[in-house]
Amino acid sequence: MTTMEETTAKPHIRQTQLLIDGQWRDAQSGKTFTTFDPSTEAPITEVAYAGPEDVDLAVAAARQAFDHGPWSRMDARDRGRIMYRLAELVEQNLEELAALETWDNGKPIRDSRAADLPLVVDCLRYYAGWADKIQGQTIPIRGDYFCYSRREPVGVCGQIIPWNFPLLMVAWKWGPALAMGCTIVMKPAEQTPLTCLRLGELALEAGVPPGVINILPGFGDTGAAIVRHRDVDKIAFTGSTETGRIIMREAAETLKRVTFELGGKSPNIVFADADLDAAIDGAEFGLFFNQGQCCCAGSRLFVERKVHAEFVKRVVEKAQSRQLGDPFHPETTQGPQVDEEQFRKIMDYIERGKRAGAECVTGGQRLGDRGWYIEPTVFDHVSDDMDIAREEIFGPVMSILPFDDLDEVVERGNQTMYGLAAAVWTRDAAKAHHVAHRLRAGTVWINCYDVFDAAAPFGGFKASGIGRELGEIALANYTEPKTVTMKLG
Ligand code: NAP
Ligand code: MG
């Protein structure tokens, strides 16, 4: 453990190759790409870049492992035991994985340690527990028949994930797929391949058989080759709504099953009768956590006009008290954005907000000239039609929108193509639930924000996605139901 003054040491990088059929290999083309440290812009290491030939090999291995291998036919208790072992290995290597995540992504080490990694462990354990609890039904049908249902694994799953919670997104995808007995071809994001590769190594150590988990670092073209492949049965994708649309179109060709977790523009609604201290903490955390790089960020902060002036003053103080700096320092609460592209996109939104007439009450600038740091930024008097109130910024930029009454705020809250999350702050429990029921969002938090648990489903209405992750419901994403009917007598 570190003392409060000590900065964590960078871990040794153990894996940078592709994982195919239980073997670590270079790309067939020999190509590699560089992954960078967002806090210094310095290269960390070269990683193998999977091309279409590697996708073919990985899908063939996953197909073989699914059709003939032990995984889908293994005693479900043994499958569960291997998954529990993986969770245990993650726990044993938590410090290393947390440091690797912080290095590759830029997130503060205190978050990697206290948020990302514990959630990864919980998710793997939660789904390990499901492995031997997958059961069908007996179905009374007309006539002299015995009819029952089975829940079979969907097959080879292509899983494509983003860079904002690199390892946690792996756990959300692997957990239900492995519990059901599916096999996996995963593509981590180009910005953050390292923790996924290390988890692949731990999976082999835990006893996951060759071919069950294949990992292909690369870019969008690697993902696209997985989506197009005829031997892939299902695609699970987390990322931008734009890429989600492209994948859905491509997947139509082979009628693959698809689940999506896409963007958001979540309303965070503070009524005047709320516990303001808690609401201000929740507004800060709900937006600035993870440098604002959260699909469920509370990026439209609706504040009832009666408390608006006081709220803005206090939330600005909170924003200004955030500790920006070296993500490896234990007191840092805000690191850099993940890369230059994201940095530029966010700075452009800040300029658009100013030009549209919103009032930038704090922040709005880059911090320093090395690393992709952006000051915590708060815009007040934002109106619904401004780009900063309509589009996903994915950065540390808060937009405050005053409102006057309940019906108005519900209507404005729902006026978006997204529907991922929402929050309501009030001491009136009945009002809280009325509003929660009327908001068109997959998750509504009341008097809290960003409360995640492996048992609680998460996902979006409308353009925020298709299907839900986490909880029992996510097993359905990896299931093909089968009906078996036998004539009696
Ligand atoms: P993205 O393009 O949607 O990337 C997500 C994943 O999809 C990455 O692994 C990406 O590969 C891959 N990909 C890209 N094009 C593909 C294609 N045609 N077929 C298959 N896979 C493909 O997101 P991004 O460019 O990293 O970020 C852009 C914006 O998306 C952000 O500013 C933010 O608004 C949103 N976003 C949302 C989430 C979320 O949690 N919902 C997460 C991240 C970003 P590469 O590694 O080459 O990109
Ligand atoms: Mg990186």
Query: Which protein residues are within 6 Å of ligand 1, measured from CB?
Result: 160-164, 187, 189-190, 219-220, 223-224, 227, 238-240, 243, 246-247, 261-263, 295, 342, 345, 392, 394
- CA 393, 398, 403, 405 torsion: positive or negative? positive
CB-based contact 188:217 (threshold 8 Å): yes
Catalytic hit among 295, 304, 375, 392 = 295
The string of pLDDT tens digits covering residues 361-408 is 999 999 999 999 999 999 999 999 999 999 999 999 999 999 999 999
Mean pLDDT of 166-186: 98
| Amino acid letter, 429 | A
According to the model, what pLDDT value does residue 7 have?
82
Q: What is the mean pLDDT of residues 233-253?
A: 98
The whole-number average pLDDT for the span 207-212 is 98
The candidate with the shortest Cα–Cα distance to 376, out of 287, 265, 264, is: 287
- On average, the pLDDT of the chain sits at 97
Least Cα distance to 485 among 170, 169, 149, 230 occurs for 149
**pLDDT (tens digit per residue) in 113-144:** 999 999 999 999 999 999 999 999 999 999 99
Report yes or no: 270 and 311 within 8 Å, Cβ to Cβ.
yes
Residue 426 identity (one-letter amino acid)? T
Residue with the smallest CA separation from ligand 1 atom 16 is: 220
Q: What is the per-residue pLDDT for 15?
A: 97
Asked if pLDDT for residue 2 goes beyond 90, the answer is no
- Choose the weakest-confidence range: 4-13, 182-191, 221-230, 361-370: 4-13
pLDDT in tens, 60-79: 999 999 999 899 999 999 99
User: Cα(20) to centroid of ligand 2, in Å?
Assistant: 22
Concerning whether 284 is annotated as a catalytic residue, the answer is: no
Rg (CA), the chain: 23
CA 104 – ligand 2 centroid, Å:
4
Res 5: pLDDT: 58
Pocket-testing residue among 105, 227, 243, ligand 1, by greatest number of atoms within 8 A of Cβ: 243
Residue with CA nearest ligand 1 atom 12: 220
Return the bridge partners of 374, or none. Answer: 366
Evaluate if residue 1 carries a pLDDT over 90.
no
> Which letter, b or e, does each residue of 49-74 get, where b requires 16 or more Cβ atoms within 10 Å of its Cβ?
bbbbebbebbbbbbbbbbeebebbeb
